[in-house]
């Protein structure tokens, strides 16, 4: 039941979901755009690993790093060629563009590689475990948790200690005013997309680490998870994204334990019922951004 194994499972899943949600929220915070092509960045990471591991002799760490870079590059590239030209038009135009980018990337993979799943060779560490207090803990979980902690620390440093990071937070608060202080819109937006791609790239390693395969539609489920986690945590807050990721992981894991076996296949339906409840009680999510509680007078 709820033992060390469960806790580590939840922490690992929560770490993964928190990184996913962060990547979505960092762009949303500035552009108010839910980037529906976000899941495809994970797919790009997956296929990069598949191609490099299958057809080159590169060591796995290099392959994983290149997969992350590929996701970052794709994120930046789609911002440059697809989102930037429509940015001044309307939010709807950007939203539709994100669907178009998503469809384009998915079909690209479908045509150029295969509609069927491709096996991704992973290093032995993804299958091995370590004994902690009498419990067998997969290394995969430990790596996910450590990566998440490192990323949160780095992101906090960037956002609190650098002028660019402060500008990113200011842009999420009031983009027009940030620009009037001389902060270039393109720099802020590109940085947000780069961070988003970085998160997607890292997630792709661990997401694919679970199934050891990649398909053109692999981006769908993580996108949904990221979206739901941000709705739970609050779309306007990075802390909210992290909290939302961990809350999502906790609820879905608890449902996995406490739902009767014949209801297990409806686990997601229960999850979404809980989300609807959150939206009814706290439409702004669990964590409100400070902007919405601004003092007046």
Partner 1 sequence: MLELQDVHVRYGAITALRGVSLSVGEGELVALLGVNGAGKSTTLASIAGGLRPQQGDIRLEGSSILGKAPEQIARLGLSLVPEGRDIFASLTVEENLRLGAFTRRKETEYRRNLSEVFDLFPVLRERLPQPGGTLSGGEQQQLAIARALMSSPRLLMLDEPSLGLAPALVDQIFDLIARLHQRGVTILLVEQNVDRTLEIVDRAYLMSTGLIEGHGTPEQLRTHGDIEGIYMGVRRQKD
* Interior angle at CA 167, CA 164 and CA 171, nearest 5: 140
How far is residue 191's CA from residue 180's CA, in Å, rounded to a whole number? 18
How far is residue 165's CA from residue 296's CA, in Å, rounded to a whole number? 26
Q: Which is nearer to partner 1, 64 or 172 (CB)?
A: 172
How far is residue 64's CA from residue 69's CA, in Å, rounded to a whole number? 9
Q: How far is the CB of 91 from partner 1 (least distance, A)?
A: 18
How far is residue 254's CA from residue 257's CA, in Å, rounded to a whole number? 5
Q: Residue 249 is encoded by which pair of tokens? A: 């992981």
Q: Which is nearer to partner 1, 102 or 178 (CB)?
A: 178
Applying CB under 8 A, the span of 47-55, 118-126, 213-221, 288-296 interacting with partner 1 comes to 288-296
Applying CB under 8 A, the span of 17-25, 125-133, 178-186, 250-258 interacting with partner 1 comes to 178-186
> Quick count: other Cβ atoms within 10 Å of Cβ 187?
13
Q: 3-17 in b/e burial notation, b at 16+ Cβ within 10 A? A: eebbebbbbbbbbbb
The set of residues, in sequence order, having a beta carbon less than 8 Å from that of 153 and lying 6+ positions away, is none
Among 59, 85, 115, 184, binds partner 1 (CB under 8 A): 184
Q: Which is nearer to partner 1, 116 or 295 (CB)?
A: 295
> Quick count: other Cβ atoms within 10 Å of Cβ 190?
16
Q: Which is nearer to partner 1, 40 or 79 (CB)?
A: 79
Binding string to partner 1 for residues 137 to 176, with x set by CB under 8 A, is what? --------------------------x--xx-xx--xx-x
Q: How far is the CB of 185 from partner 1 (least distance, A)?
A: 7
Q: Which is nearer to partner 1, 118 or 179 (CB)?
A: 179
Instruction: Please name which of 144, 116, 70, 145 lies closest in space to residue 218, comparing C-alpha atoms.
Output: 116
Among 35, 102, 178, 196, binds partner 1 (CB under 8 A): 178
Among 32, 84, 118, 179, binds partner 1 (CB under 8 A): 179
The answer to whether residues 171 and 183 touch, using CB atoms and an 8 Å cutoff, is yes
How buried is 38 (Cβ within 10 angstroms: 0-12 exposed, 13-18 middle, 19+ buried)? buried
Q: Residue 207 is encoded by which pair of tokens? A: 């997401």
How buried is 165 (Cβ within 10 angstroms: 0-12 exposed, 13-18 middle, 19+ buried)? middle
Does residue 280 interact with partner 1 by CB under 8 A?
no
Binding string to partner 1 for residues 206 to 245, with x set by CB under 8 A, is what? ----------------------------------------
Does residue 89 interact with partner 1 by CB under 8 A?
no
Q: Which is nearer to partner 1, 121 or 291 (CB)?
A: 291
Local structure of 88: helix, strand or coil? coil
Applying CB under 8 A, the span of 75-83, 177-185, 190-198, 227-235 interacting with partner 1 comes to 177-185
How far is residue 54's CA from residue 121's CA, in Å, rounded to a whole number? 7
Q: How far is the CB of 66 from partner 1 (least distance, A)?
A: 33
Among 90, 103, 136, 291, binds partner 1 (CB under 8 A): 291
Does residue 177 interact with partner 1 by CB under 8 A?
yes
Among 110, 143, 185, 271, binds partner 1 (CB under 8 A): 185
Interface with partner 1 (CB under 8 A): 163, 166-167, 169-170, 173-174, 176-185, 289-291, 293-297
């Amino acid at each position: 039941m709820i033992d060390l194994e469960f806790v580590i499972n939840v922490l690992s899943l929560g770490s993964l979901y928190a990184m996913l949600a962060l990547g979505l929220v960092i762009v949303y915070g500035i552009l108010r755009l839910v980037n529906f092509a976000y899941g495809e960045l994970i797919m790009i990471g997956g296929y990069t690993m598949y191609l490099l591991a299958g057809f080159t002799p590169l060591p796995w760490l290099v392959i994983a790093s290149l997969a992350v870079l590929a996701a970052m590059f794709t994120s930046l590239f789609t911002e440059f060629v697809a989102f930037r030209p429509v940015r001044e038009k309307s939010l709807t135009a950007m939203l539709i563009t994100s669907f178009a980018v998503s469809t384009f990337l998915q079909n690209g993979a479908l045509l150029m590689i295969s509609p069927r799943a491709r096996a991704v060779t992973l290093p032995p560490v993804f299958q091995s475990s370590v004994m902690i207090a009498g419990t067998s803990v997969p290394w995969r979980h430990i790596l996910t948790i450590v990566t998440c902690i490192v990323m949160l620390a780095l992101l906090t440093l960037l956002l609190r200690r650098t002028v660019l990071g402060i500008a990113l937070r200011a842009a999420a608060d009031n983009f027009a005013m940030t620009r009037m202080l001389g902060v270039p819109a393109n720099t802020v937006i590109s940085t947000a997309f780069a961070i988003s791609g970085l998160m997607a790239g890292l997630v792709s390693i661990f997401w694919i680490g679970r199934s050891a395969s990649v398909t053109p539609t692999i981006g769908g489920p993580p996108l949904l998870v990221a979206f739901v986690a941000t709705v739970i945590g609050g779309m306007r807050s990075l802390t909210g994204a992290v909290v939302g990721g961990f809350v999502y992981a906790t609820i879905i894991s608890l449902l996995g334990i406490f739902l009767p076996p014949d209801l297990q296949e409806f686990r997601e339906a229960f999850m979404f019922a809980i989300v609807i409840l959150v939206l009814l009680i706290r439409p702004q999510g669990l964590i409100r951004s400070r902007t919405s509680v601004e003092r007046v007078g």
